[in-house]
Amino acid sequence: MSDTQDSPTEEPPADEQLTGEYDPADIEPKWQAHWVAEDTYAYDASDDEPGADADTRFSIDTPPPTVSGNLHMGHLYQFTLQDFVARYHRMADDSVYFPFGYDDNGIASERLTERELDIRHQDYERREFQKKCREVCATYEEEFTEDVQSLAISVDWSNTYKTIAPEVQRVSQLSFLDLYEQGREYRQRAPTIWCPDCETAISQVEQEDEDKSTKFNDIAFDLVEDSSGEADDDATFTISTTRPELLPACVSVFVHPDDDANQHLVGGTARVPLFGQEVPIIADERVDMETGSGLVMCCTFGDQNDIEWYQAHDLDLRLAIDESATMTDVAGDYQGMHTTEAREAIIDDLDAEGYLLESRDHDHTVQVHERCGIEVEYLVTEQWYIKMLDKKDEYLDAGREMEWFPEKMLSRYQHWIEGLEWDWCISRQRDSGIPIPVWYCDDCGEPIMAEKADLPVDPLSDEPPVSSCPECGHDDLTPEEDVFDTWATSSLTPLVNAGWDWHTDESADAADSADGEGGEFRMDNPELYPFDLRPQGHDIISFWLFHTVVKCYEHTDEVPFENVMINGMVLDENREAMSKSKGNVIPPSEVLENFPVDAARYWAAGTSIGDDFPYKEGDLEAGERLLQKLWNASRLVDQLTPAQRPTEPDELSSVDRWLLAELDATVESVTAKFEDYAFSKARNELRSFFWNSFCDDYLEIAKQRLSDGGDRSTEFTLLTAHRTFLKLFAPFLPHITEELWDRLDYAAGESGTDGSVHTTDWPVAGGYEADLAAGETAMEVVSALRRHKTENGLPLNADLDHVEVYGYISGFEDAVAEAMHVETLDVYEDAPDISTEVSGIDLDYSIVGPEFGSDVGAIDAGIESGDYEIDGETLVVADEFELGADCFEIEESRIYSGDGEMTETESAVVVVR
């Protein structure tokens, strides 16, 4: 921080009173800069000798945001939830590891670069394009970092990573080699999704649905043979298709097994019009009988179904379309045409030769590349896969070993695994990813892996580890051009964070290694692993979480996380997902122009973890009011108390002990809620105790008690409670609590801190005992008197001459009288001297129900009609049913005819004369 005027260390001395309003616009940025400059949130690994207690560390595997644009509300929400955890555990445990990373090796970052620089990756040499990606990402990352810091996310900024960085590339490539050595990876020729415009393979998540209008064409196929092996010369059947240009790629025709009308075709052969190839006719359940003629052609490849059929029925491969959507030699006369030209030409020719029976308008959904909107094609290429299907049960067990918040999210993980049908394709044909560290023998095709010690490598520019193929001795080796799927790397974040690496061992063990690479995998920070928490959104349970479990489990034989916290999505005020196309996106910058960060954090704490959460300006306003209330209450506490907290007196007065005992209960309850990631409940309970009990009741009492001068018991209690409130609010409202902690010089009373409330110890219950029943009744009396004044149009400080309380408020008489300005307060512990009459019976159905079962109706009716007697402890209904004392309560209405006005509370009766 350059401006020393703002330095927190040069605030006015603590004996100067808090004045004025809270001004977050000044104070929040001041502390944000201070925390970063002072490394307030640095992970403390100092006591990290062997045997150090891993239980005192709390490690978080922060989700590295994809570098694809700017901070959005989802980030704000998600990071803030993580920050509640980090801040709570930093205070409750010894040290918190809260790192931050950027996922900048994926196609999203490539696209950002192309968009930002208005270039196409095809126009650049790979290295050159990668360089541009790094530059663009660096700019965005810098901006993003500032944005995250301005949200007061308590990340340790000395522990950051980028997934494209060499260290991470090394981890990613080590993972590939380790899994290969374990026999869990293989390379196979298989169809991939291809964008013919961008000329790249794309992943499934990069395609989206689009509704398009097109022509549905009924085309006549000649039947060569039917199921009996014979067919009339002129026998035909009809195929309906939107893509006649795929006719040259047609390899079979499918019939649904329930399609009785066409069963006679199954097992037969058909001839494709214009192109003449003869293809088998096969039965398969995946045929949609409702569409077109109910018969469908399978081409390699037109859609996902074609791929499934191709694999399931071991069909021929006829590739009629190339990388740029140009017809291949398979298309014969149409070779060289673009698919759209070919479609028209083929329709014309079908029509001319009488094969086109009908052509009609048709609306359907197609898969397009989300970036360019062009319909995807399917190409067959060599890809690397990680085996998963053989270990589904182990991965299911791993999921059950983790504790899920909320619990219900485990089912998404389970269903995903149960439904898995494919191994994981980890290779991508992109420019700016992490290279797959392998070369292939030109002669026998043997893959040659890089040496672990050499990683990271780029086969395109680095030399292979051997000069000839170890299998066949051939000299020419070809580098792999593909890179890893971005999830193949981001699924390693726990290992990246824990410093997992291959260490070449100089010791004797080296000889044991079969490949001559003596060494082992070790972690620099083993105490972090398994991580205490994986926080993330529910939308990527099947990607990031599942893949992380798979990879880490295979590398370490351990489940990588103790707990999983799943957050929902941020919706707009109308509960709809925010999206650019709907135009309902609210950027965080817009929110933070109008509200303090602490108010936004208050909003973020407002829902159960896992639920989708609408942005609600009213909640931010409520947060703002809480800040103001906290500030004003702090001012009053400051005014009422001396600069130094007095030592605890031997004897605390009843009302002080009551407050501290209630505070104990709140501390314990809020702590339990934080442990359970129940932020909303922690927030609401804390707010309500602070506002309703501390401010409305206790502060009003304390004000009166201290009006005539000092009272050590009350001063001690006020300052003890206030300190505790600041700590309890600190995870939610880090700025205002830090400002108050600093301004009131509370650090002076705290041992072993650097002055920040955020590094103090989380409060524990002080073990105060008090007459909670009397206290609660006393507070009821106070609020009854407040109500009395309000209802009679009296100011709250109006004097009351004489009040009678019928109820147990022992020890609180003076507090009630002082706070409510009562001259004479008489307390009677017996029943009030007023007439009562039985007005009804309240049954406890949780007891009556199981005991009387179907007679409950008759009992209800008896009570309703007054057909009952109270016989000592027993209630007899309709001369038939005897209910014990625990079954019912007598409801009485009181009639007061004396002077003054009577008010009833839950456990007292108050008469104002």
**Alpha-carbon span 795 to 789, nearest angstrom:** 7
Provide, rounded to whole angstroms, the least separation between the CB of residue 639 and RNA: 6
**Alpha-carbon span 138 to 374, nearest angstrom:** 30
Residue showing tokens 């009556």 = 848
Answer whether 32's CB lies under 8 Å from 41's CB: no
Cβ neighbours around 25 below 10 Å, total? 8
Provide, rounded to whole angstroms, the least separation between the CB of residue 761 and RNA: 27
The answer for residues whose C-beta is within 8 angstroms of residue 430's C-beta and 6 or more apart is 107, 110, 200, 201, 483
**Alpha-carbon span 571 to 77, nearest angstrom:** 11
For RNA, which is the closer residue by CB, 448 or 819?
A: 819
Provide, rounded to whole angstroms, the least separation between the CB of residue 487 and RNA: 11
Question: Percentage helix, strand, coil, to 5, in the chain?
Answer: 40, 20, 35
Provide, rounded to whole angstroms, the least separation between the CB of residue 637 and RNA: 9
For RNA, which is the closer residue by CB, 331 or 848?
A: 848
The alpha carbon of 304 is separated from its chain's Cα centroid by a whole number of angstroms, namely 31
Q: Provide the residue type at 741 as one letter.
A: W
**Alpha-carbon span 604 to 525, nearest angstrom:** 32
531 membership: H or E segment, kind and range: strand 531-537
Answer whether 88's CB lies under 8 Å from 762's CB: yes
Candidates 275, 261, 270; CA nearest to 225 is 270
For RNA, which is the closer residue by CB, 124 or 416?
A: 416
Cα within 13 Å of Cα(274), Cβ side:
28
CA torsion, points 255, 260, 264, 268, in degrees to nearest 10?
Answer: 10
DSSP state of 205: G
Provide, rounded to whole angstroms, the least separation between the CB of residue 48 and RNA: 39
Provide, rounded to whole angstroms, the least separation between the CB of residue 150 and RNA: 20
Provide, rounded to whole angstroms, the least separation between the CB of residue 100 and RNA: 23
Provide, rounded to whole angstroms, the least separation between the CB of residue 453 and RNA: 37
For RNA, which is the closer residue by CB, 232 or 799?
A: 799
Sign of CA dihedral 840, 845, 850, 853: positive
For RNA, which is the closer residue by CB, 293 or 632?
A: 632
**Alpha-carbon span 787 to 794, nearest angstrom:** 10
**Alpha-carbon span 442 to 447, nearest angstrom:** 10
3-state secondary structure of 224: strand
Provide, rounded to whole angstroms, the least separation between the CB of residue 49 and RNA: 42
Question: What angle, 0 to 180 degrees and rounded to 10, lies between the N-to-C axes of helices 126-149 and 107-117?
Answer: 90
**Alpha-carbon span 467 to 634, nearest angstrom:** 75
Q: Provide the residue type at 518 as one letter.
A: G
For RNA, which is the closer residue by CB, 443 or 855?
A: 855
Provide, rounded to whole angstroms, the least separation between the CB of residue 625 and RNA: 4
Provide, rounded to whole angstroms, the least separation between the CB of residue 205 and RNA: 6
For RNA, which is the closer residue by CB, 125 or 837?
A: 837
Rg (Cα) of the chain, in Å, rounded? Answer: 37
Provide, rounded to whole angstroms, the least separation between the CB of residue 213 and RNA: 18
Answer whether 781's CB lies under 8 Å from 818's CB: no
For RNA, which is the closer residue by CB, 174 or 246?
A: 246
For RNA, which is the closer residue by CB, 19 or 214?
A: 19
Answer whether 470's CB lies under 8 Å from 526's CB: no
Tell me how many degrees the CA angle 308-312-315 measures, rounded to the nearest 5: 95
Provide, rounded to whole angstroms, the least separation between the CB of residue 624 and RNA: 5
**Alpha-carbon span 861 to 857, nearest angstrom:** 6
3-state secondary structure of 759: helix
3-state secondary structure of 338: strand
**Alpha-carbon span 216 to 363, nearest angstrom:** 9
Candidates 683, 785, 678; CA nearest to 728 is 683
Provide, rounded to whole angstroms, the least separation between the CB of residue 41 and RNA: 28
3-state secondary structure of 747: helix
Residue 410 token pair: 């485990």
Provide, rounded to whole angstroms, the least separation between the CB of residue 517 and RNA: 37
For RNA, which is the closer residue by CB, 349 or 676?
A: 676
Provide, rounded to whole angstroms, the least separation between the CB of residue 103 and RNA: 16
Which DSSP string do the residues of 243-283 spell out, in sequence order?
-GGGGGGEEEEEE-TT-GGGGGGTT-EEE-TTT--EEEEEE
The CA-atom distances, in angstroms, between 289 and each of 261, 311, 355, 603 are 11, 21, 22, 51
For RNA, which is the closer residue by CB, 274 or 805?
A: 805
**Where do the DSSP E strands lie in 39-141?**
57-59, 95-97, 100-102
For RNA, which is the closer residue by CB, 72 or 635?
A: 635
For RNA, which is the closer residue by CB, 99 or 191?
A: 191
For RNA, which is the closer residue by CB, 53 or 612?
A: 612
Provide, rounded to whole angstroms, the least separation between the CB of residue 604 and RNA: 12
Provide, rounded to whole angstroms, the least separation between the CB of residue 764 and RNA: 24
For RNA, which is the closer residue by CB, 425 or 492?
A: 425
For RNA, which is the closer residue by CB, 767 or 853?
A: 853
Which DSSP string do the residues of 871-887 spell out, in sequence order?
ETTEEEETTTEEE-GGG
For RNA, which is the closer residue by CB, 413 or 808?
A: 413
For RNA, which is the closer residue by CB, 357 or 540?
A: 540
Answer whether 320's CB lies under 8 Å from 246's CB: yes
**Alpha-carbon span 424 to 417, nearest angstrom:** 12
